[in-house]
Structure 1
């Protein structure tokens, strides 16, 4: 399936009815047969969200609340931990996740309502956590920009994680938020190899573009770092040192890493991806992943799910930390985002006088 992360569409685990789909058995296929296309167009439906701020209680992530403007992600990263969530909307976590997207078109209205409630307590909002807020769909929907405009108007702290070059469109808003101590950005940087990027993250920005994003954000005064996530044994783990060096030279100040996670349907999708692109090492990769997960493909235990365990995990951590110390990454604590500047949305409160 050209320009997509996976051609597979595994059964929705919440659906009791299973439908067999057309399969190319290799004998014949009419080039005009729409039952077996080589590529699929992206479909977008609008959702009127009831609420927009999600809360989080996991000790493994550094935020309490987040906003996701979109469900599904056109970036098509084969390893994406958010894929299983697409089953909640009666879609497959496979190809559907990349091609059947949901846009929360009233997201900004719901954000204004939430921030205006007397009970609302200002805490940093992480933007685009489950799926990327700067995926290609945002170019036309502009939901993320609307949210940032509201957060700036309310002087509300926000952090952004992305692997999309579109974030530079909003540099004016991000730089002003950063000037007031209200914004940080993390760029997901997984490889410097364009060929691997095309196979693993087909519709994301190229490594060169992501380094450009880091450079431009840094020059604009926006605190920026990288997340090397996921680290995949024998696929991109050899790049740890070179990737950190490139990010540092581009202006990154901080760096973290996350081990590959394979919950639910992702395991099937990832193993199929390995067999198609790296059949010579597929079994080796999966055996190493099991070694780092206590003999299982995935362990969801808090404290382990993001980093794993065992000797190989320790080696990755030591290499990563050593290179960070050498370069000066993470050399000081990052100041917390300010919450004391927060003000309710203008025009939303009743004038008492």
Structure 2
């Protein structure tokens, strides 16, 4: 049907007052708008009454499209946002292991032996320690497991600066599968003894390695850090641990990802345990991926300061969910509720930011 014929039809149905003509116009506008959208895209249409809103709602239900939001009150007029096609089930789109609450991140501390120029929480040797503490970590992991958390991630700062890190890991592993993020540089002396005291089953070390040669890695993390990280990976593997390698890539064009993966292959780290992640513009990073809480799939994160939406934003007031850390269950439930609303309202626009 051509544009001129469509306009004539709309004028004709508008003249049919009292016989449902206005409702036909609403349907025509919906069909025209949704028909112009790509699958998964959204469009906005003006409505003038509760009757029209009800009509839009019923039409979407019957045609397999999704009414995302409405801005209409009894005083009207307003608008509706419609998504072409059904909103995907987040459990299918994200995977059940990435739904909010599946992972619990705990910042054991914030001080670090390095001062990486893109650290998302600005950790350094001069950073305030801000430790969660052994007993509280054990309580949080138990509360998370009772709520439905499936796995725990311990991060910092550098967790191996804590003299009781082996006990922390052991307490966590007794309750849930656990991964510990580290720069891998402290596996000697007390650090090596802590490493050797950790369980092998249900536990993994995630060690940062940004490039297959020292230049890029050392340029961001400090001279000599690449060689010590590689040595740390080799020590951990030799001690029988599962090792994951995580590369933070400031510029994919500056790093030969194929060469990096080949290098990690050569160290004995399978592709499934190789994590490639971008720089987030948070903390010490002045450039990188920008995001808001509304555009980020949450991974509940606890620090000594509160409960946050995601580990890359664990010092960002905009990502703070609650300053009340315990009991943890209410914060987990609140994040789950907020994300469910966000998923529907944003038309599944939230994205994963792979920290692990």
For Structure 1 versus Structure 2, the TM-score category normalised by the shorter chain is 0.3 to 0.5
If each structure's strand is expressed as a fraction of its own residues, which one has the higher value? Answer: 2
> Per chain length, whose mean CA-contact separation is higher, i.e. which structure has more relative contact order (CA < 8 Å, sep 6+)?
1
TM-score (structure 2 length as normaliser): 0.45
Q: Which has the larger radius of gyration?
A: 2
TM-score (structure 1 length as normaliser): 0.46
